[in-house]
Amino acid sequence: MRIVSSHIRESSHKPRRANAVRSMARALFVGVAIGALSSCALVKPGEAPRDTFDISAPTSFSGVRGGSRAQILVKVPTALSSVDSDRIIVKPTPTVVTYLAGAQWSDTVPRLVQAKLVESFENSGATRATAKPGDGLVIDFQLVSDVRRFDVYNGVATIELSIKLLTDRTGLVRDTRIFRAASRASSDMPDDIVAAFDRAFDELARDVIVWVVNRT
């Protein structure tokens, strides 16, 4: 009787152990599922790709008379960190900086300005040569500049550059000037805003070339 009774008691514990294992498995599964859902809730959707825009360098220079035999080096302009990016600045007030949603420049603003100034000089044929640092030319003058404004405010795209013309051999400043050009955008759409920047840069680049030619 003792053997039988012992066998019965031993057998009665097996379902309890099985139930306990199943309960622990269910609890573990629920915990993992909740953790996974919580992780998913923390994942934010990625930002939509931005449209990339460029400005063009002027190609016709009927207003540029004469030329220079000087070789010009155009350095990368300096700029505040808010300007030194590939974002298109739109200012709701003169002191607040925001960026045009879904749009960007093809490069940072300083490098974009440098590249398009070099291209403008080359298109004009007004100097013997124009280059960037590292191009290996013997340089007569350097253009050292600072981008003060490259933004849209109140529907007007404004570009403002402070430029120094330096004699390369001595480092002395030949002349300095602040160039500013502005153009109103026909709407707040990215295409129209970029077109306004394009017109402003066209005017500014022409003024810079005339100024350099008359001083070199």
pLDDT tens by residue, 12-44: 455 555 555 566 656 555 454 445 444 444 445
What type of residue sits at position 128? R
3-state secondary structure of 101: strand
Is residue 127 helix, strand or coil?
coil
CB atoms within 10 A of CB 83: 21
% pLDDT > 90, the chain: 71
What amino acid occupies position 157? A
DSSP assignment, residue 94? Answer: T
Whether 124 and 150 have beta carbons less than 8 Å apart is answered as: no
The pTM assigned to this predicted structure is 0.78
Which phi and psi angles does 113 have, rounded to 5°? -65, -45
